[in-house]
Each structure stands twice: as C-alpha cells, then as structure tokens.
Amino acid sequence: MTQYALDTSILLRWFSQYHDADTDRALRLRQEQQEERVRITILDTTLCELAHILKEANRFSQGDIDAALASLEYMHIQVVPYQARLARRAVQIAYEHDISVYSAGFIALGADLRCQAITCDRSLYTKVASLPWTSLLSTLNF
C-alpha cells in the first residue's frame, strides 16, 4: 500500500468551505484512504495546526472543530507522535531550505518513512522541490 506524509494544507481542504483547484484532489486522496488504497500519515502537531487554522478562520465553531478532529480519528489516519530525531531532521530541513520548522515537519516525516511528502502549498514546494521525496498534490498520480 502506498503511504503518504501529508502537510496541513491538504487536510485543511477537507474541511474548508473555500474551494480551489486542489480541493477535489485532496478529497479524492481522503477517499483513497477511506477505501484503504493508500495510507495517510501525519505528525501529531498537524492536528493542532489544523485546529488553529480552522479556529482563526472565524467560520468554525468549537463543535465544528471537535467534529473535524474526530473525523480524522474515524478515518484511521496514522498520527506520529513527537520524536526527537524527527524534530532534529525538521530543523535541519528548515535551515537548509529557509522554511519554518512547522513546514519542515511533514517533509522530515516523509524522509523517515521513505514515502512521498505531499503539500498543496506551492510556495513551500518551490523551496523544497530539490528533495526527491516531496511532491505537490496536483502532480500526484493516484
């Protein structure tokens, strides 16, 4: 089974009312996970980042955010807890590519799992495109 390490930008499209070119692909990837054709893996910090973004959007109630987080549990997404070596690798990637440590986390996870690290964030991807395990969702074949 193909495994992917996901950036928060993809999960956000599962819950946002904003629709863009990546939304349909993000929803399709979620469907692939639900049908057990792919395995989606995220860092535990991704959950807090997602909740924060939804809260700050001022369009989601606390109940809406709780429901969003609960739905991720229902989907059996693999959530990787904090690990010092992943954090160190994220810091290294952040310095080497001039990105935030938060953004580097899923990239470090992809490297650790030897799987593609996927994002919808084109400006982030431009900075890390030299890393062969990173991809834009729009270029992913599934």
User: What secondary structure does DSSP assign to 53-115, as a single string?
Assistant: HHHHTTS--HHHHHHHHHHHHHTT-EEEPP-HHHHHHHHHHHHHHT--HHHHHHHHHHHHHTS
Residue 142 reports pLDDT greater than 80: no
* Measured distance CA(138)–CA(25) in Å, rounded: 7
**Model confidence over 14-53: pLDDT tens digits?**
998 778 889 999 999 999 999 999 999 999 999 999 999 9
* Measured distance CA(32)–CA(40) in Å, rounded: 9
Within 10 Å of residue 105's Cβ, how many Cβ atoms? Answer: 29
**Model confidence over 77-118: pLDDT tens digits?**
999 999 999 999 999 999 999 999 999 999 999 999 999 999
Strand order in the sheet with 38-43: 78-80, 38-43, 2-6, 116-119, 134-136
Within 10 Å of residue 120's Cβ, how many Cβ atoms? Answer: 23
Quick one: how many helices (H) and strands (E) in the chain? 7, 5
Structurally, at CATH architecture level, domain 2-139 sits in 3-Layer(aba) Sandwich (3.40)
| b/e burial code for range 78-87 (CB count within 10 A of at least 16 → b) | eebeeeeebb
All structural domains of the chain with their residue ranges: 2-139
**Model confidence over 51-64: pLDDT tens digits?**
999 999 888 999 99
- Give the global pTM: 0.92
DSSP 8-class letter at 21: T
